[in-house]
Amino acid sequence: MSAISPSPTVENSTRSATSRSVLMCRPDFFTVSYRINPWMHPEEPTDTSLAVRQWEVLYRTYVDLGFDVRLIDPIEGLPDMVYAANGGFIIDNIAYGASFTYPERQPEGPAYMDWFRDNGFEVRHPANINEGEGDFLLVGGVILAGTGFRSTSNSHRELAQVYGREVVSLELVNPDFYHLDTAIAVLDDTNIAYLESAFNGKGLARLRGLFPDAIIATEEDAAVLGLNSFSDGYNVVIASRATDFERQLRERGYNPIGVDLSELLLGGGGVKCCTLELRR
Ligand code: ARG
């Protein structure tokens, strides 16, 4: 790129940001009252007002990046609804609805599908158990799809039919990284970051073949859900405690922006979990 007019806040010579449209849900009713992943300890206290304050920093960060941020009303009694990524998966204005694994979260599926319909998306009711963008990640033209703990491999086949795109199934093997978005961060249309130990040999071979230049995350960063991040192609919103990931992103020409969602980590979620991308 020439020296003419690179704007340092939006892009550098190798990366460029594309403004995103995302759906979020304020954690007004957030708490940990059941245990469906190893991060959750219902016997320990949570601070809902702190969760809201931390979430508001994330919300503000997206607004300041120029994102179009939409909100779905939280529902009392659905404490995990803040993790909007699980509410569905959207490409080309088509919303493939979620069908949750555990009964505690099942009412969220129809609530999100209602929002999609009311907001002009074409809704596809799922025939198979799946937890939306928690397990499905679009990288360029390919959909990476996780299974092993939540979304079923049948949902991967359904996904391929709905969108007519290639779906790469990846089996997750560590219960701490039970959703694909806890083990892989999508950085842009061609690259990702991931945690090697979250996958079996077959999945690792697939990832190495597809993304030879991927960032390999440390166990320490993954353990604060550092990979659970959201990128616009240049700015990457990450857990502020994921310091090595931050360094690696900087080295590669990305602009990491740290936020602290410690309270939402008690439910087993981070930045990406709170973010559902709306692709029209
Ligand atoms: N407590 C929630 C669950 O176990 C956390 C969901 C996190 N979301 C995500 N996209 N990884 O379902």
pLDDT tens-place string over residues 19-64? 999 999 999 999 999 999 999 999 999 999 999 999 999 999 999 9
What's the order of all strands across the beta sheet hosting 88-91?
A: 88-91, 94-97, 122-124
Asked about 273 being catalytic, the answer comes back as yes
pLDDT at 14 (0 to 100): 81
Q: Which residues have CB under 6 Å of ligand 1?
A: 36-37, 40, 80, 83, 85-86, 105, 134, 179, 181-182, 267-269, 273
**Domains parsed from the chain with CATH numbers:** 21-277 (3.75.10.10)
Asked about 179 being catalytic, the answer comes back as yes
pLDDT at 40 (0 to 100): 98
Tokens of 214: 């991927």
What is the pTM assigned to this prediction? 0.94
Residue 13 banded pLDDT, cuts 50, 70, 90:
low
Q: What is the pLDDT of residues 211-237, one digit of tens each?
A: 999 999 999 999 999 999 999 999 999
CB contact at 8 A, 81 and 29: yes
- The number of the ligand 1 atom at minimal distance from the alpha carbon of 102 is 12
In angstroms, rounded to a whole number, what is the distance separating the alpha carbons of residues 213 and 194? 11
- The number of the ligand 1 atom at minimal distance from the alpha carbon of 86 is 10
- pLDDT of 103 > 80? The answer is yes
- The neighbour count for residue 44, using CB atoms within 10 Å, is 8
In angstroms, rounded to a whole number, what is the distance separating the alpha carbons of residues 196 and 117? 37
